[in-house]
Amino acid sequence: MAIVEMSKIRLMGLDYHRDKILNALQKTGSVELVATQEIEDTVKFSDVAARQEITEKHDRLKTAIELISSKLSENKHFIPEKGTTEDSFFVSYDDFMSAPEWESELIPVLDELYKDENRLSENRTERIRLNNLRSQLLPYSTVKSNFSDFKDTLYTKVFFGTIKHDVVTDFKNFISDFEFTEFEILAEGAVDVILVVSMASESEQVLSKLASLGFTKCQFDENITAFEKIKDILTELSALDKSDENTIEEICKKSVYLKKLKILADYYAFCLEKINDSERFRCTGKTFVLEGYLPKEREEEVKESVEKVTGAVFIEFSAPGKDDTPPTLVRNNAVVRQTEFITDLYSPPNYYEMDPNKIVFFFFMIFMGVIMADVGYGFIMILLGGLLARRIKVDNGTRRLWYIIMTGGVFTILFGVLFNSFFGFTLPYKAPLPSPVPEGDNTDGLMIILLGCLGLGVLQIATGYLCKAINCFKNKDIAGGIFEGIVWVIFFIGFVFAAFNFLIEYLMPDAFQIMDSGVKNFFYTMQTPGIIMVAGSVLLAAVTAGRNEKGFGKFSKGFGAIYGIISILSDVLSYARLFGLMLSGMIVATTFNDMGLGLMTGGLGYIFGPLVIVVGHVFNIAMGVLGAYIHDSRLQYIEFFSKFYTGEGEKFTPLGSDLEYIYLTK
């Protein structure tokens, strides 16, 4: 099986050697640590001071990395040195462990970046203040007088400010009876700038009215006009922009340190991981005990690696107990490994079940080939998927997705040859299978392909029940394997024997007439055994469904098993989506071909015709691949996995492997 057999490790060592031992375990890349079971006269390890110190260093490095990266994306004119800005890169173990030696070089860089970030923050705050000030000045921009000109005198009060335009008339009417009050509109707009000069005896009434109308007194009193002050503000804003530009340039220049900053950040992330894991250990005053899981095949390597750094250590390996939940490490060949990405999106397999990836690979690629089914599209998928996958150096989900598309292209070519489709055109040879695009009233081709897709559904669902049996047998549940797995496999075999001739004769009478007599006779012969297999398997499933229940549960479970046939047949019908997606893709391809060829009648038609064909096929390939991936995945997750797959496994994550920026090499 592709799921690697795991061993449980228990290690006891001196606390003085703890860090060296953890480093040795990390170097092997083979041990995932877990919480140590309670041991008498031991306590949990704790080192609050070390955690705080390393957390501060790690956070400071991450802030610096994010600052440099963000400013590099903003400054399109700055060209960093080649290789300094890679998102993920490989680092040797020795370089990784020597990263603390760079602290003396990087601390001044971090200090400068801290100052740069503060300068940008201060400039941002000042820019907000100046823009707010500018907004307040804009209504006064056409007033020719200085702000200082609008002052009270010994006998008068001056009210200079803004008021809403729609209440000006109300104010005019109010002061019409005031003998010693003068009013003038200095600027009009959404709000009007007004000047009111009033004798002291009338000023209190005037001010009260202005306040009720929402009058805002001018806050400026400098010996300068609004226009001149706005001009000064724009000069200050320009200076801030220049300061930001210079600061961002200085930050971008520090990208030469980006790789070292990332390595050191991941080193401290590893140190934090060691502290987090250590807090799950049990310890005494001078010793500690750790537990974890590792591949059984790596036991000797791990033991030798630890004993190289200290001889004062005790290591014990054992098989996981029935109450243990080991992490899952899946190992497949380079081709099947691609579909681990698809399975993991649903859920990684748990340690105690079979790895479904080989089967998922087979069906996923077959289904993608059926949906796309075009030789030209297959070549595009291979070229595009292979090119983009090769550009990604790390074996991550994105790279595997492009390899899935590339491999799907191979199966797309296969089915394209079978259906004789090349970018929607028919090549000059007789296709082994009928075209899904019917000509005239002949629908036999459609029915053959539809039944073929449903047949693939029957095959996959039956395979799912076979996998259910394998999982049950693996966990020594013999009855479950037989009654919940094998019985339903027999049901599907019997169903094919019982229904084959009937379906062909009913749905495709013309094709049935010319069908090989040997095939007809075989299925006629097997029809009665098929009916017996269907009836017997359903009866056996109903009788045994409630074998672990009590009372009424025995009956209800049996009835549920019979009713479940409806759900199973519904699942089979879901595979008709393969036919629907293939048919729609081929119709779209031929439609664009007809449109393009129809335009090629002369003149500009020889330009627009091919353009329509190319754009149409680009659109069709993009939508086809997207639809194929989504619906293909749905068939795996819902129709297939629901029959046997438990999932919910925890992926094997060795100590020190979950790094953010780098990938370690030996």
pLDDT digits (tens, 9 = 90+) for 605-630: 778 888 999 999 999 999 999 999 99
> What are the tokens at 386?
């292979």
What is the C-alpha to C-alpha distance for residues 301 and 648, in angstroms, rounded to an integer? 29
- Per residue in 451-508, pLDDT (tens digit) is 889 999 999 999 999 999 999 998 889 998 999 999 999 999 999 888 888 877 777 6
Q: How many helices (H) does the chain have, and how many strands (E)?
A: 21, 12
pLDDT at 513 > cutoff 70? no
Structure tokens at 65: 């990395």
pLDDT of residue 184: 92
Count of CB atoms within 10 A of residue 634's CB?
Answer: 13
Q: Is the pLDDT of residue 355 over 80?
A: yes
Q: Where are the alpha helices (DSSP H) in 293-396?
A: 299-309, 340-346, 357-372, 375-390
The per-residue pLDDT for 67 is 95
pLDDT at 1 > cutoff 60: no
pLDDT at position 511 over 80: no
Region 287-308: mean pLDDT is 94
* pLDDT score of 438: 55
**Total count of residues recorded for the chain:** 666
Q: What pLDDT, in 10s, does the model give residues 77-94?
A: 888 888 777 878 889 999
Distance CA 616, CA 636 (A): 30
**What confidence score (pLDDT) does residue 247 get?**
95
- Reply yes or no on whether the pLDDT at 44 is more than 80: no
Q: With 70 as the cut, is the pLDDT of residue 558 above it?
A: no
CB 200: neighbour CB atoms within 10 A? 13
List, in sequence order, every residue forming a beta bridge with 198; answer none if it has no partner.
157, 181
Round to whole Å and give the CA distance between 272 and 54.
7
Please tell me whether residue 181 adopts helix, strand or coil conformation.
strand
Determine the 3-state secondary structure of 453 from DSSP: helix
**Structure confidence at residue 47 (pLDDT):** 77
Distances (CA, A) of 311 to 9, 287, 315: 17, 14, 11
pLDDT of residue 510: 66
Cα–Cα dist 319/308, whole Å:
25
What would the mean pLDDT of 45-71 be, rounded to a whole number? 91
Query: pLDDT per residue over 583-598, tens digit each?
Result: 999 999 999 998 988 8
Residue 441 banded pLDDT, cuts 50, 70, 90: low
Q: Which residues contact 438 (CB under 8 A, 6 or more apart)?
A: 445, 446
Residues 415, 367: contact at Cβ < 8 Å?
no
> CA neighbours within 13 Å on the CB side: how many for 421?
32
Cβ–Cβ < 8 Å for 408, 372 = yes
301 pLDDT tier (thresholds 50, 70, 90): very high
Query: How large is the angle between the packed helices 576-599 and 357-372, nearest 10 degrees?
Result: 30
* Average pLDDT over every residue of 425-443: 68
- Across 350-370, average pLDDT: 95
| Residue-level pLDDT at 569 | 86
Give the residues across from 193 on adjacent strands: 162, 187
C-beta separation of 649 from 372 below 8 A: no
Average pLDDT, the chain: 89
Q: What percent of the chain has pLDDT over 70?
A: 94
Q: What is the pLDDT of residue 551?
A: 61
Q: Within 13 Å, how many C-alpha atoms sit on residue 270's CB side? A: 29
- pLDDT value for 285: 82
pLDDT score of 439:
57
Burial 285-296 (b: 16+ CB within 10 A, else e): eebbbbbbbbbe
Q: Comparing 36-45, 199-208, 511-520, 650-659, which segment has the lowest mean pLDDT?
A: 511-520
Other beta carbons less than 10 A from residue 77's beta carbon: 7
> Token pair for residue 176?
């019409």
Q: How far is the CA of 186 from the CAs of 160, 178, 191, 195, in angstroms? A: 10, 20, 11, 7
**Torsion sign across C-alpha atoms 651, 654, 657, 659:** positive
pLDDT digits (tens, 9 = 90+) for 215-274: 999 999 899 999 999 999 999 999 999 999 999 999 999 999 999 999 999 999 999 999
**Which domains, from first to last, does the chain contain?**
151-217 (3.30.70.2750), 336-643 (no CATH)
pTM: 0.81
Nearest 5°: the CA angle 187, 191, 197 is 60
- pLDDT(516) > 80: no
Q: Taking the CA atoms of 325, 653, 2 and 4 in sequence, report the sign of the dihedral they define.
A: negative
